[in-house]
């Protein structure tokens, strides 16, 4: 028999804490519920290991005191010490999504195989290479060993485990299905990372081509064009240059004399965008603009719908109440237009209405999504229907990424060809004029 510490609520909603003796976690949950309580968190109380007993002193023999480190009679270990510099917590960034996904998947496998939670965490600690994650696992183990729950331990590391992660684990603990919730979390993270990597991969080629176009253009304007200018001045004298040539030479002179001004203007635009984006109205404007962009807007919209429906479906299927699920989805949507729509849905559900009406009033959600949500509400299979919507839009995101990549590649090549071709033609027109005048003379 083991001792389990629990946090539960009675029929009036008052919180109570206590301990029960049970053979396993499920039996402990059943015992708490038999008392008319609803457990919200429960965990096994681990007893601290007893310190090793000191060896008995032999009578009549003097014991030598241990030498102090670095003192007389002891070896100096100053040169052998490993120095590690750790950044303060507020300076550390978020860990890689791959590390968190791998940890969640492995922990779900261990718990599902029947291993106790603490034992599973100890196994993962031994093979964890990420120092920040290892530090978090050590802290989580200490909290659970002291009688806290897994979800309570996760809240101490908000940069690693977000609001969505903590609430799903909490729901899994309350329902006694932690291994199922961990599996869903791992699946959710893997699919989200897959979509993100596809979008990033699709943007690598256009960015490389744009950087190449800017670099080549800058090199021609700063290095090549000035040499042609001096040649034209010597050979043509007072004769006028073609309009295209004069335009390219003027652009070259402007870049040479005002290059720092151009860079400063670009930097000012970037900084101004970031400053405006930090305000509520500015952030809403940029989020709305990203959804309405001609080429990428459709991709952003489908990604937002897929993320929202998958998150909400995962939360509901894990046992999180719908109002709490909507709050989590609102805070983790990543787009203020979508967050505003989710808040409208939350207010409608709180008043006893359905999700369909406020969902249909937001232009972000297509009619197909509204219809499927309505069917899910009527049949009582909303979580399953939301997951199907997410799967459908994941496929559409894949198609949109492939289509966008196929359209952007030739477009960028054409733009680069036009820029370089214009400069080449502009330089050759005066030369043709010079050759024609020489041959005519």
pLDDT band at 64 (very low <50, low <70, confident <90, very high): very low
User: Across-strand partners of 16?
Assistant: 8
Of 306 and 196, the one with more pLDDT: 306
For residue 6, report the phi and psi dihedrals to the nearest 5 degrees.
-135, 155
Beta strand 15-22 with 2-9 is antiparallel
Task: Give the pLDDT score at 363.
Answer: 87
The DSSP symbol for 80 reads: G
User: Across-strand partners of 22?
Assistant: 2
pLDDT surpassing 50 at residue 262: yes
Strand segments (E) across 323-421 = none
- The mean pLDDT value for 330-353 works out to 87
- The mean pLDDT value for 134-138 works out to 90
- Which residue in the block uniquely carries the two structure tokens 């989805």? 329
Residues 6+ apart with CB under 8 A from 350: 323
Task: Using DSSP, state whether 93 is helix, strand or coil.
Answer: coil
How much is the mean pLDDT over the chain?
79
How much of the chain, in percent, has pLDDT values that exceed 70?
A: 86
Task: Give the pLDDT score at 49.
Answer: 43
- Report how far residue 248's alpha carbon sits from residue 116's, in angstroms, rounded to the nearest whole number: 72
- The mean pLDDT value for 93-115 works out to 82
Task: Give the pLDDT score at 412.
Answer: 82
Beta carbons of 182 and 172 less than 8 angstroms apart? yes
- Least-confidence region, from 5-9, 156-160, 272-276, 320-324: 5-9
- Report how far residue 383's alpha carbon sits from residue 393's, in angstroms, rounded to the nearest whole number: 16
Rounded (to 5) percent helix, strand, coil in the chain: 70, 5, 25
Task: Using DSSP, state whether 2 is helix, strand or coil.
Answer: strand
Task: Give the pLDDT score at 147.
Answer: 81
């Amino acid at each position: 028999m083991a001792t389990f510490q629990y946090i539960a609520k009675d029929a009036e909603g008052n919180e109570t804490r206590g301990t029960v003796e049970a053979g396993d976690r499920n039996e402990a949950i059943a015992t708490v519920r038999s008392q008319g309580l609803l457990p919200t968190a429960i965990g096994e109380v681990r007893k601290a290991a007893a310190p090793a007993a000191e060896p008995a002193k032999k009578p009549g023999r003097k014991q030598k005191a241990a030498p102090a480190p670095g003192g007389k009679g002891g070896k100096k270990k100053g040169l052998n010490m490993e120095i590690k510099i750790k950044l303060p917590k507020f300076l550390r960034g978020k860990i890689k999504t791959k590390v968190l996904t791998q940890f969640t998947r492995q922990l779900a496998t261990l718990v599902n195989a029947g291993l106790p939670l603490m034992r599973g965490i100890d196994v993962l600690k031994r093979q964890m290479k990420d120092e920040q994650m290892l530090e978090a696992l050590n802290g989580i183990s200490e909290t659970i060993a002291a009688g806290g729950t897994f979800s309570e331990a996760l809240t101490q590391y908000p940069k690693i485990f977000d609001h969505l992660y903590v609430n799903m684990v909490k729901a899994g603990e309350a329902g006694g299905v932690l291994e199922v919730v961990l599996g869903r979390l791992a699946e959710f993270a893997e699919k989200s990372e897959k979509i993100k990597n596809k979008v990033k991969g699709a943007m690598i080629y256009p960015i490389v081509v744009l950087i190449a176009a800017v670099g080549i253009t800058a090199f021609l304007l700063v290095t090549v064009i000035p040499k042609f200018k001096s040649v034209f001045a010597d050979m043509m004298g007072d004769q006028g240059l073609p309009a295209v040539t004069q335009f390219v030479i003027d652009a070259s002179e402007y870049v040479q004399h005002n290059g720092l001004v151009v860079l400063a203007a670009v930097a000012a635009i970037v900084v101004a965008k970031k400053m405006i984006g930090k305000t509520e109205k500015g952030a809403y404007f940029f989020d709305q603009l990203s959804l309405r962009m001609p080429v990428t807007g459709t991709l952003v919209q489908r990604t937002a719908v897929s993320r929202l429906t998958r998150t909400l479906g995962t939360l509901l299927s894990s046992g999180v109440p719908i109002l709490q699920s909507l709050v989590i989805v609102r805070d983790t949507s990543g787009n203020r237009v979508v967050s505003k729509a989710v808040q409208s849905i939350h207010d409608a559900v709180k008043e006893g209405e359905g999700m369909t009406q406020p969902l249909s009033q937001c232009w972000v959600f297509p009619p197909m999504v509204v219809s499927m949500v309505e069917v899910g509400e009527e049949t009582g299979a909303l979580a399953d229907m939301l997951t199907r919507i997410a799967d459908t839009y994941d496929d559409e995101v894949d198609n949109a990424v492939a289509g966008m990549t196929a359209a952007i590649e030739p477009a960028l090549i054409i733009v680069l060809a036009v820029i370089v071709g214009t400069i080449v033609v502009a330089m050759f027109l005066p030369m043709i004029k010079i050759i024609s005048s020489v041959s005519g003379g």
